[in-house]
Amino acid sequence: MFEDTKYRYWERLRFRNSWRAKHCSQQFINNGFINVNKTKRNCGLSFIPNSEINTILLLMFFNTSIKYLIFFSLINFGLSARAQKFSDEDFIAGSSEEIAKPFSAREYIEHFKEDAIKEMYLNKIPASIVLAQAMFESDNGNSELARNAKNHFGIKCKLDWCGDSYSKDDEEKNECFRKYTSVLASYTDHSIFLKTRPRYAFLFDIPLTDYKSWCYGLKEAGYATDPNYAKRLINIIEKYKLYEFDKHQLIEKPVFPGLEIKNPELDLRTVYQYNSGRFILTKEGDSFFKIATEFDIELEKLMAYNDFKKGDKIEIGQKIYLEPKKEKAKEPYHLVKKGETLRQISQTHGLKLSVLCKNNHLKTNYIPKPGEILYLQEEKPFGAIPLTAEDNAFRENF
């Protein structure tokens, strides 16, 4: 009796772990538990009670399920970790240089000096002032606001702001600051901010080379509450010799920031390049036919490149593009000056007139108002508060 029990116990152990167990278990699955007795006979397991067969099969089922569960969990964990790694790498690779690593003062100057010079050309604010303010307000591009909102001048939202915003504690808790899509957009908005508020108007009567008067003027106009604000800016300008960038405006030859000069093979005249578009500056005696002949361009194409129609006349010193203008300007905004037309603005920035009109929801015959802000890189949000010189009194109160 004892030997028989021992034998049966041994067979049960072998059944649980042998290849025959796997083979028979498959038969149980195929035949179903209705034909358990038939399967037992085929496998030579008649000596094992049905209840024990069922227990063994359930244990094998749970064992297999747990193995698959662990297997797929490991795969899922591996994919998640890999995806997180790629996400982190994409964040670092996709971030701008000022976010990827801290800037030193000299690195900041080297990186953004051209943007400051552009603002000097377009809006008549000394490049030294633009750079010094940006360096001071953004801690050389390393501040929380500069990193997370690309706001390098600490400009708050105000009531006329319709773009994205970023909240952080300042003089009060959770104050609203402007958030930009690029650092250049922050630079341009800073220029517009100064030009459209009456309290800063007197600054534009100060020569571009008189950076000290500009610094004291900004403090007098209330740009910052720090009593030593002017001295701090002057120290930055003199320490890093930022006043050297203000001398660019003294150059008589037409120069544009980011501009390349190319000469035709015959060296008939200077060809400039801005926003990846080649253009010339017209001189006395020029006509569309003469320019088209000189550069071997079809007359109709030359006129189309520059959004001119038959009967339009050329003025001396005017930009004439020798190829199609672009659909996106280098600058994000343009502050309209007195007497400017949409076509002149599109020529200034090398931007197609149709795109300029589309971005600002305007018709080509629209006459822009002085002080109006036009969008050059993206569409102007619907419902935005009109930004014109007529709103200055409104702005001054906020």
Query: Can you give the residue range of the structural domain that contains 298?
Result: 260-396
Predicted confidence (pLDDT) at residue 16 exceeds the cutoff of 90: no
Report yes or no on 255 lying in a domain: no
pLDDT reported for residue 394: 40
Average pLDDT, integer, range 296-308: 91
Residue where one domain finishes, among candidates 92, 111, 142: 92
Q: Which residue has the higher pLDDT, 43 or 86?
A: 43
Report yes or no on 224 lying in a domain: yes
In this structure, of 16-25, 43-52, 161-170, 191-200, the range with the lowest mean pLDDT score is 16-25
- Residue 33 phi/psi, 5-degree rounding, is -75, -5
Q: Residue 285: left if φ>0, alpha if ψ -120 to 50, beta else—which one?
A: left
Predicted confidence (pLDDT) at residue 39 exceeds the cutoff of 80: no
pLDDT reported for residue 88: 36
Q: How confident is the model at residue 320 (pLDDT cuts 50, 70, 90)?
A: very high
The pLDDT > 90 percentage for the chain reads 30
**Residues 123 and 196 grouped into a single domain:** yes
Nearest to 128 by CA among 251, 233, 200, 225: 233
Report yes or no on 375 lying in a domain: yes
Q: Where are the alpha helices (DSSP H) in 18-143?
A: 19-31, 36-43, 50-94, 97-100, 105-123, 127-138
Report yes or no on 137 lying in a domain: yes
As for how many domains the chain has, the answer is 3
Largest CA distance in the chain: 126
Q: Which residue has the higher pLDDT, 234 or 14?
A: 234
Q: How confident is the model at residue 47 (pLDDT cuts 50, 70, 90)?
A: low
Q: How confident is the model at residue 244 (pLDDT cuts 50, 70, 90)?
A: very high
> CATH number for the domain including 221?
1.10.530.10
Q: How confident is the model at residue 6 (pLDDT cuts 50, 70, 90)?
A: very low
**Residues 175 and 38 grouped into a single domain:** no
Nearest to 331 by CA among 176, 18, 117, 16: 117
pLDDT reported for residue 7: 43
Q: How confident is the model at residue 110 (pLDDT cuts 50, 70, 90)?
A: very high
Name the residue type at position 314: I
Residue where one domain finishes, among candidates 92, 112, 131: 92
Q: Look up residue 53 and give its two tokens.
A: 């067969």
**Residues 103 and 245 grouped into a single domain:** yes
**Residues 143 and 31 grouped into a single domain:** no
pLDDT digits (tens, 9 = 90+) for 167-184: 988 878 888 999 998 888
- Across all residues in the chain, what is the average pLDDT? 76
**Residues 80 and 104 grouped into a single domain:** no
What is the C-alpha end-to-end distance of the chain, expressed in Å?
Answer: 103
pTM across the whole model: 0.53
Question: CB under 8 Å to 324, separation ≥6 — which residues?
Answer: 277, 305, 352
pLDDT reported for residue 55: 65
Q: Which residue has the higher pLDDT, 368 or 8?
A: 368
Q: Which residue has the higher pLDDT, 229 or 275?
A: 229
Q: Which residue has the higher pLDDT, 133 or 98?
A: 133
Predicted confidence (pLDDT) at residue 100 exceeds the cutoff of 70: no
Q: Look up residue 48 and give its two tokens.
A: 């094992």
Residue where one domain finishes, among candidates 47, 77, 92: 92
**Residues 385 and 297 grouped into a single domain:** yes
pLDDT digits (tens, 9 = 90+) for 53-98: 566 666 666 666 676 677 667 666 665 554 443 333 333 233 333 3
**Residues 278 and 189 grouped into a single domain:** no
> CATH number for the domain including 376?
3.10.350.10
How far apart are alpha carbons 382 and 367 in whole angstroms? 19
**Residues 9 and 44 grouped into a single domain:** yes
Average pLDDT, integer, range 304-331: 89
**Residues 226 and 340 grouped into a single domain:** no
Q: Which residue has the higher pLDDT, 13 or 351?
A: 351
pLDDT reported for residue 5: 44
pLDDT reported for residue 217: 92
pLDDT reported for residue 2: 42
**Residues 272 and 325 grouped into a single domain:** yes
**Residues 387 and 275 grouped into a single domain:** yes
pLDDT reported for residue 352: 93
Q: How confident is the model at residue 35 (pLDDT cuts 50, 70, 90)?
A: low
**Residues 305 and 353 grouped into a single domain:** yes
